[in-house]
Amino acid sequence: MKIWLTIFTPYQTVQMQIAALTSYLRYSNIDVAYSEYYIFSGESFEKHRNQVREDILREKPDIVGFSTYDMNYHHTLDCASFIKELNPHIKVIVGGHTASVVPFEFLDHECIDFVGKGEGEETLKELAHALENDLPLNDIKSLYWKNENGEVITNEARPLMETLDDLPFIDREIVEYQHSKIDYLPFLMGRGCPYKCDYCGNEAIKDLAPNSEAWSRYRSPEHVIEEILLCREKYDFKYVFFYDDVFCLKLDWLVKFKALYKKHFPNTPYICLLRPEMAKDERRMKLLGESGCMEVHMGVESGSYEYRTNMLGRHMSNEVILRAIDNLKKHNIRINTFLMVGMPDESCLDMLKSIAFIWKIRPSSVQTGIFYPLKGTPSYDYCVKNNLINWKKRKELVVYSYDTSLNVNFLKRYFIIFCKWLLSGIPVLTHFKLQLIPRFFKIQYRLWFQRRVDYT
């Protein structure tokens, strides 16, 4: 029984979640292959048809598994339909965020046989075993499937894996990490996020399992260090990038991690993600800096306290964010902030507040995205209820960076795009001395006046 996993993605980065899944399947003695296809806004599946045909003929899978999110929804369905044309005996399962929150949307299509909701390791392993041995599917938890009459059967939900140290180390070979041309080691130390944000995909799937209170979990410091040591023997990297939604800041965990990381990797810094509320504790930020953290990525999302609280569900004051920034700078940790523009009912004044706030806190870098409503979230429901989504544009977009998927007029659309690029450029602008700005305009005036004199 062979499983072929694939994803349509605009991001040329290591797909760590898929790598974790393949690790578990290989550990369970299941034959696994993997391919990924890069997509761009406005591009259809047709571009990938020949490559998919070659991959299917080469791998000869019994099961094809797709990792889904909102922006590859149509590519996934088109590819699944094409695979069924090539070989109708291949079974197709979809998992990931979008499949987990709208399983029936996928199962309405003949090309989709199964949906795996939530974490997929055990579900996919048991499905492969059942299909290979012609066993019933009813006992495979978190599996949605169609019986011989086409009726959708919804199996019992599967509990979350709570002891992550029992999982095998992530398989970086199958996602070709060594050929990815990145100089860092991508790493996952845990799963889940303890916070609730109205726009976030975590909010849509965290309650699927019966033990949802265990949603935010971390491996032990010893297990984390052991995997990094193994990777150091195989790969060259300048720093470690912890991809987790939020870095573990439990005090006893952090103290132990600091000692182990400094012992084994004194010259290998790392990057992690934090919430502002986590960074307001100076003691923890001191431990973070001493352990080797060189940069923190932190979500601000909006410079407007009212909008951030009422529309995004991020209940933090501007003072909390400022205190977090000060603590990080005090311990020589660079700050990369995340922001969004073009959010539902966000006014131009709200966006200008974001610009003013980022200018005030002056982070090392800024990543700005344009809001895209994710299915299953309160923000998506709000957009649907108020008819805010431009469905044609939503279907075309595959990244957050270039345009809005909401119904806005011409002027606001370009104001959103302008604010997005301006926010991303603020760290560069703040490196220039402010007194150079009037000098710049004076030079421009002289050049314009000189051209005018020459012309006349």
Q: What is the dihedral of CA 391, 393, 394, 399, to 10 degrees?
A: 180
Residue 135 has pLDDT above 60, yes or no: yes
Tokens read off for 349? 């004044």
Residue 444 has pLDDT above 50, yes or no: no
Instruction: Read off the pLDDT of residues 279-308 as tens digits, 9 standing for 90 and up.
Output: 988 899 999 999 999 999 999 999 999 999
- Note the pLDDT of residue 380: 96
**Which residues, 6 or more positions from 172, have their beta carbon under 8 angstroms from its beta carbon?**
14, 19, 178, 231, 235
Mean pLDDT of the chain: 90
Instruction: Read off the pLDDT of residues 377-414 as tens digits, 9 standing for 90 and up.
Output: 999 999 999 999 999 999 988 888 789 999 999 999 99
- Note the pLDDT of residue 177: 64
Residue 453 has pLDDT above 80, yes or no: no
Instruction: Read off the pLDDT of residues 164-200 as tens digits, 9 standing for 90 and up.
Output: 999 999 988 877 665 567 889 999 999 999 999 999 9
Could you tell me the pLDDT band of residue 64, with boundaries at 50, 70 and 90? very high
Could you tell me the pLDDT band of residue 249, with boundaries at 50, 70 and 90? confident
- Note the pLDDT of residue 105: 96
Asked whether the beta carbons of 154 and 182 are under 8 A apart, the reply is no
Three-state SS for 269-333 is CEEEEECHHHHCCHHHHHHHHHHCEEEEEEEEECCCHHHHHHHHCCCCCHHHHHHHHHHHHHCCC
Mean pLDDT along residues 92-113:
96
Domains parsed from the chain with CATH numbers: 2-154 (3.40.50.280), 183-436 (3.20.20.70)
